[in-house]
Amino acid sequence: MSGPCPAAGESDKERNRQNMTSEREDYLATYRRDGFAVVRGVFSAAEVAEIAEAFDAVRAAGLRFARSFRDRNLLYRLSVDANLGKTLRMVQWPAYANAVLDRYRLDRRIYDIVAPLAGPDLKQIINQMHWKPPGAAQNSFGFHQDIWFRRPRAAYRNPAASYVQTGIAVDPHRTANGAMVFCRASHGRGELSLDGDGRVMERDMSAEDLLRFGIAQDDTAPMALEPGDVALWNLYTVHGSGPNLSGIDRRIYLNGYVAAADCDRGEWAFRGGAPCALGEPVLVHYDALYKRPYPHYVED
Ligand SMILES: O=C(O)CCC(=O)C(=O)O
């Protein structure tokens, strides 16, 4: 069961209406047209520093383990990089382990960005920190659509309209440090396939994959972000990201939301606009949650 989740009153709804400024309408139009958009400067430098400190704490906790390690929905995904040795590549559901990250996933400003697209009753199906350190030999994400990872598919209804993925930039994101690359208007193409060819995390973005999707190179756009910007994209938008060839980190805090009525999985995040605390973990991606609900090492 998730934790307490109060119903929101009229004032929440009114506040949301008042927040619909013209800037908001612009990002909504861009999102609907291109399948991705950016809302600039959502979080201050001090808030980004707080998130970065939380990333440090979660990384230190993860690197105590010899290899990838799971405690129910919380997963530290480690890898042995050819250049850097043991690295923490990503963490799923760090909000269970870190109060600061838990607070930002429920931030009112994130709600105000997502609710116009997916409504006031939101569950959360993604809570992830991705960390690309400089000099890693392999930390690319091949071109993919997030819909590929929504399993079992029957639990995820109305996927084109009810899901919004968000990412808070912790560092500047540029091509040199592995910024994400998005394929314009690809969300209108429905589900595309590489016929199960390779895992997304062990794959580089390639012109050949774009060709297999029927997407022109000209229709790709790197997403430059400043710390504190919030990127958002659709479940069907083709995207990926390259290696970090720069001298700085590239960190992003990902939170994916879904209209609650359209999803049987996920943690409640907002009910009627009011934030919902995490309680006992519920089924999201880890199918063995109830069979193997104890901490254990994970084979990759
Ligand atoms: O962190 C990245 O660059 C990739 C993120 C991504 O592709 C995803 O979460 O679907």
6: preceding bond cis by omega (within 30 degrees): no
Residues 6+ apart with CB under 8 A from 131: 55, 59, 87, 88, 89, 90, 249, 250, 251
CA of 180 to the centre of ligand 1 (A): 7
> What pLDDT does residue 22 have?
58
Tokens at 42, concatenated:
């959502």
Ligand 1 site, residue 254, Cβ cutoff 6 A: yes
Residues 97 and 61: their CA atoms lie apart, in Å, by 9
CA of 145 to the centre of ligand 1 (A): 10
Q: Atom of ligand 1 at shortest distance to CA of 241?
A: 3
Query: pTM of this prediction?
Result: 0.92
**Probe target for ligand 1 pocket from 254, 257, 285, with the most ligand atoms within 8 Å of CB:** 254
Q: Which is nearest to 115 in space by CA: 205, 53, 215, 39?
A: 39
Domain boundaries, the chain: 10-277
> What pLDDT does residue 24 have?
66
Ligand 1 site, residue 146, Cβ cutoff 6 A: yes
DSSP annotation of 184? T
Tokens at 169, concatenated:
């930039």
For domain 10-277, give the fold: Jelly Rolls (2.60.120)
CA of 199 to the centre of ligand 1 (A): 13
> What pLDDT does residue 9 have?
45
Strand partners, 221: 182
Ligand 1 site, residue 241, Cβ cutoff 6 A: yes
Task: Count Cβ atoms below 10 Å from residue 100 Cβ, excluding itself.
Answer: 17
CA of 124 to the centre of ligand 1 (A): 16
How does pLDDT run along the chain (300 residues), one tens digit per residue? 344 444 444 444 444 444 444 566 699 999 999 999 999 999 999 999 999 999 999 999 999 999 999 999 999 999 999 999 999 999 999 999 999 999 999 999 999 999 999 999 999 999 999 999 999 888 899 999 999 999 899 999 999 999 999 999 999 999 999 999 999 999 999 999 887 766 787 788 999 999 999 999 999 999 999 999 999 999 999 999 999 999 999 999 999 999 999 999 999 999 999 999 999 999 999 999 999 999 999 986
- Determine the longest span between alpha carbons in the chain, in angstroms: 55
Residues 130 and 289: their CA atoms lie apart, in Å, by 23
If 0-12 CB within 10 Å is exposed, 13-18 middle and 19+ buried, where does residue 288 land?
exposed
